[in-house]
Amino acid sequence: MLEENQKLGIISLKGKFVMKVENIKELVEKLIERRKELGISQSDLAQLCNLSVNGISKFESNAGEREVKLSTLFKLSEVLGFKLSLEFEQ
């Protein structure tokens, strides 16, 4: 699982922009923004990602206060149309 203080890498919204995200809170804010931009409700997102509505709601409302499974981030990336990359420091 990823913790808030770990670097998360780069989010690229298919051909639109590339953004380096430094923490979970920032990532969640961008995911909420993208979900709303696409006109997808939390309920619809949960169904499309095979996740619970409660889980999506908690994920969005407690940004940075909870750990997030990497598999969940990849599910969200598929539905919301972004590429998730991890950047490791040496």
Map out the domains of the chain as residue ranges. Answer: 9-85
**pLDDT at position 5:** 33
pTM of the model: 0.72
Homologous superfamily (CATH) of 9-85 is lambda repressor-like DNA-binding domains (1.10.260.40)
Q: What is the mean pLDDT of residues 44-61?
A: 92
State residue 2's pLDDT score.
Answer: 38
Angle at 59 between CA 86 and CA 84, to 5 degrees: 20
Among 28, 84, 21, 86, residue whose Cα is nearest residue 56: 28
Question: What's the pLDDT at 51?
Answer: 92
Chain segment 32-44, per-residue pLDDT in tens? 999 999 999 999 9
Q: Which helix (H) or strand (E) holds 45?
A: helix 42-49
